[in-house]
Every structure is written in structure tokens, then in C-alpha cells.
Structure 1
Amino acid sequence: MTQDDFDSGFYQRFYRDPRTRVTTPAEMARRAAVVAAILKQWQLPVRRILDAGCGLGWMRPAMLNAFPRSAYVGLEFSEHLCRRYGWVEGSLTDYRARARFDLVICHDVMQYLPERDARRAMANLGRLCRGALYFYAPTVEDWRHHADRSCSDTSIHLRESQWYRSRLSRHFRYAGFGIHVRRGVSFPQWELERPRE
């Protein structure tokens, strides 16, 4: 996909128009609040947040409310959104930062990347994150069983869930609810709270 694909029309259709949007600000705020609550429960410090593919920034207010002393970086490929909201313009495939992040959010991004770029972006998550990663991308399985195709973007690259899991497991341990914790980072989690391996 190109810059032109992520223009104002794209965000009007998939995010602003109540008839065709795929999510709402309220849903994203709830999601962010849950992720923040889990990280607080696990006593994982969050001082630097990277929201990779932040879009309209709907997770930002809840994250900054939960972690008021943290620095938030919104990374976005869309030139249109970067101009409008002041996000850092770039791609997860090659983005670099001076310091790593305690929390990286990568929600609804990878399906827009072709294979080579997706591989690079997945590897980059391991370089950018020193703590927790909240990760979501629609999979082939989701498309078959969960996706509302009446409002879903069909111009995407669907991959098997195992494609993502195998790459995430190189740097992270899955801890539940889309949260992956960097290998070597300890946190308190009761046995029956752990996902089954």
C-alpha cells in the first residue's frame, strides 16, 4: 500500500463513518484501559510508549491517563494523519529510536504490509521493545470466523496465526489478551492466569 491509500477518505470510511467504521473511540479506549490495567497488575513500569500505526490516536488518552508520566510516541505511515495530529511519520519496517520502549502497541497494522515488509516489521518489534508489546493483526482464522466483512478492509495481507506466533516468540513470551512480555522480564502471574502453551 502507498501513502495515497491512507488518505482522509480511508479514515472517513473505516474510522469516522458510523455505518462503515471497524471500531470506535470508546472501544479503543476500553482496550487501552484493559492493557494498562494488566501491565499495572504485573507491576511493569511504563515510561515510554510507542504506538506503532497509531492512526487517529484513540488509545493515547487512556494510556496517558493510566501512565501520566510516560512519554508517548505516535508512529504513523499516513502523511495525512501526521500533518493533522503531529505523529512521527514513518514505517515500522525501519523505524529507529534513541531508546527502547517499555510498551509498544501494534494494533491493526501488519495486515497492510506485504511479506518482506511484514517480516522486517516483526523483527523490528523485538528491537524497539524492552518490556511489553500489545499486538493484534487479523489472521486467516479471524477472517473465516470473526471478521465482519461488511465493514472490513479487504485490501490486506492475511496470514496464519502461527506466522505471527513464531516470530513473536523469538523475543517475547505470550502472557494473555494480546500482551507479549519481553523474554527475560519477570512479572508476577499466577499459574491459572497463564495462557496454555
Structure 2
Amino acid sequence: MSKTYDQAYFDKWYRSTEHAVRSPAELRRKVAMVVGQAEFYLGHPVRNVLDIGCGEAPWRAELRRLRPGIAYRGLEASEYAVARYGRSRNIGYARFGQLAELRFDTRFDLIVCTDVLHYLKPAEIRAGLTGIGEMLEGVAFLEAYTREDDPGGDREGFHARPAKFYRAAFSEVGLLPVGSQCYAGPRLARQVAALETF
């Protein structure tokens, strides 16, 4: 039985005080940290962002609060989220693996993908990462949890892979780890000092 990402799912995992594992304050801090990382490496304010697996697009409001003129594009595989928020929050329908072929008229200063990768099969991860490597102008925030972590929250369909799986997959497309689940894209490789990566 496949999981349904409907309103009940988002209510439970993102709004319920009993189940939600992240607070609005934590999201605010996380977005500020990621934007700071991206702007440090880019050398200018983040102009545009691609948010993959964005759900109801909680990052959008925080990004716009920090950078009011930012161009936001969300992608989501939940028919509910796209039908309800697609137009108002600029969310299109796409599965992660479709990033292998999906392209836009610009590269992105920031690509965000939170709480998605650990639910996907390896082939879909590798396919989607190819697109991320090609579309990324700046920094990607790829928040994934491994068998070494205990992230809490929705465990249905969670693949408890070792961290080295993700490190290898990210490296294959030229993503350089720069800390706090942020990865500099291939175009920024020359700007990353050896001791900034691990």
C-alpha cells in the first residue's frame, strides 16, 4: 500500500502538536542558515530557489521574509498540495526522479530538498540528483536522514541507509559538502577551500 500525501498527512506531520517534529522557529532558523550559506558561496543575495518535494511550501514564506524579491518555484508529488497551493505558491507537480529530464529557463542559486530522499529508491535518487547537479548555480540543501540518525516523525517507507550512500551519490554529480547538509554545486567548486569539505 502506497502512502497518500493528502491534507490529513500534512495536518498530522506538520501541524499536529502531538506528531509534528519541527517547530516554526526551527524552520525559521534553518532557512536563515541555508540562505546564509548560499550567499556566502555565491557572493550575492539568493535570487531564486527550487524547492523539491516542497509539500505545502513552508519554506516559501520564510524565504520571502528574508529576501522579498526571491523567485520561488516548488515541485511536489502530492496531488493534494499541487491542487490546493499550486497557483498561489507556484508549486508544480513532479516526482524527484523526473529531475533527470526536467529543466527550466534558469539555473538556481539555491535548491532545497528536505525530508524526501530517505523515502526514495536508489535509482530515483540518482536520476534526480543528475538534474540537481545540472540546474544548480549555487548551493543545495539536501536534508536526508540515515540509519545513524533518529529524526523522529514519519517512519513509513523510511530507508535506513548508511550516510556513505548519500555522500557517494552527491559526489557523483559534483556536489561538495560544506556543512549542515549544504552542498556547493559544481560551478562553485573552485571557491570551496579544502578544509571546508569533509
Is contact 2:137–2:187 with CA below 8 Å preserved after alignment? no
In the TM superposition, structure 1's runs of 4+ consecutive aligned residues that sit over 4 Å from their partners are 186-192
Partner of residue 19, structure 1: 18
- What is the aligned length? 189
Cα 1:190/1:119, change in 2 over 3 Å = closer
Matched, 1:102 2:109: yes
Which residue identity does 2:80 align to in structure 1? H
Matched, 1:76 2:80: no
Is contact 1:132–1:182 with CA below 8 Å preserved after alignment? yes
1:113 pairs, out of 109, 116, 120, with 120
Partner of residue 36, structure 1: 35
Please list every run of 5 or more consecutive structure 1 residues that lacks an aligned counterpart in the other structure: none
Partner of residue 132, structure 1: 139
Q: What SS does structure 2 have at the residue aligned with 1:85?
A: helix
Matched, 1:161 2:163: yes
Which residue identity does 1:67 align to in structure 2? R
Partner of residue 53, structure 1: 53
Q: Deviations over 1:144-164 (max 9, x none)?
A: xx333xx43232222211111
Cα 1:153/1:188, change in 2 over 3 Å = same
State the alpha-carbon separation in 1 of the partners of residues 175 and 59 from structure 2.
22
TM-superposed CA distance for 1:33, in Å, is 1.1
Q: What SS does structure 1 have at the residue aligned with 2:111?
A: strand
Q: Deviations over 1:42-71 (max 9, x none)?
A: 424422200101112221122123232221
Cα RMSD over matched residues? 2.3
Question: Which is helix-richer, 1 or 2?
Answer: 2
1:91 pairs, out of 89, 92, 95, with 95
State the alpha-carbon separation in 1 of the partners of residues 193 and 12 from structure 2.
42
Provide the TM-score with structure 1 as the length reference: 0.85
Q: Deviations over 1:172-191 (max 9, x none)?
A: 11111111111241686777
Please list every run of 5 or more consecutive structure 2 residues that lacks an aligned counterpart in the other structure: none
Provide the TM-score with structure 2 as the length reference: 0.84
Partner of residue 8, structure 1: 7
